[in-house]
Amino acid sequence: MTVNAQQLQADLFETRRPRLQAIAYRMLGSSGDAEDAVQEAWIRLRRADTDQVRNLDAWLTTVVTRVCLSMLRARQSRREDLTDEQVHEPERDRQEAPDPEREALLTDSVGLALIVLLDTLSPAERLSFVLHDLFDVPFDEIGRIIERSPAAARQLASRARRRIQGAATPPAADAKRSREVVSAFLLASRGGDFEALLGMLDPDVVLRADTPAVRLGAPEEAFGSVAAGRFLFGRAGGAKVALVDGAVGAVWIRDERPVVVFRFGIVGGLITSIGLTAERSRIDGLKLEVLT
């Protein structure tokens, strides 16, 4: 490939990078992981013979989503492999930390609540929903990416949509139950009852924290009730139950200012996902109401 051809290829990729980054972020929920996935797509593009590629957009979408799918499956496998004695710690040797400003912009564009809800889906459900509902990718193409029929891809997206809509707009009874679950969870943390705290967490709970929360000591990710519970035990006790954009969550307040916001995914009376937000611009954009 000539120098001019390489530059043209690079220019074509850069014009598509924002869309690929947006897809990867919605798939993975982390700007750092999204950048890794997009960079891997660029490496594969450089190595590939693209003379036969008729639709570069579709080719790149397929590559980056398959990379994301592999990363999601690896997460799931890692979560299943964790034992009660293993606690996931944030990576300390990462060369370049995620850009908080970029992370805030990405999260603002998709919504923290949706990111938390997406964590409750299987990798195939998440991919099908994100590509179709957020990026208008046809089911024929989604089916090829996940190696299933278009009908199966449609069913996965529909199942994901129902789960998200059901969690995002709970009936009054479910909202009351969610408040009871969060209250009991915070009480267990505050009262030093580790077993009771574990009892409020789904065994496969996923905890994720944004970059500012990690700087405050939170793990970037924690998989499983023991790992998440060991970090939250005692620390979550200082938080207060609150409505966060209308959903039951919690907020940790210091000097009369919210410092960390907790978003919960709750299914069947158990906490299935926890999102910790400490980015000031994001917190300022939330509607918070502390509940007595």
Give the model confidence (pLDDT) of 79-104 as tens digits.
Answer: 555 433 343 333 333 333 444 444 44
* Sole residue written with tokens 């611009």: 281
Tokens 């564009």, located at residue: 109
Q: How far is CA 100 from CA 3, 54, 62, 65, 280, in A?
A: 35, 37, 28, 24, 10
Residue 292 banded pLDDT, cuts 50, 70, 90? confident
**Domain limit, last residue, from 23, 56, 81:** 81
In the predicted structure, residue 62 carries a pLDDT above the cut 50: yes
pLDDT in tens, 111-153: 555 666 676 778 888 899 889 888 888 999 999 998 899 999 9
Answer with the one of 28, 51, 81 that is the final residue of a domain.
Answer: 81
Q: Which domain holds residue 63?
A: 1-81
The CATH number covering residue 273 comes to 3.10.450.50
Q: Which residues contact 117 (CB under 8 A, 6 or more apart)?
A: 163, 164, 167, 168, 265, 273
Q: Is residue 26 pLDDT above 90, yes or no?
A: no
- In the predicted structure, residue 65 carries a pLDDT above the cut 70: yes
Residue 182 is predicted with a pLDDT of: 92
Give the global pTM: 0.51
- The predicted pLDDT at position 226 comes to 92
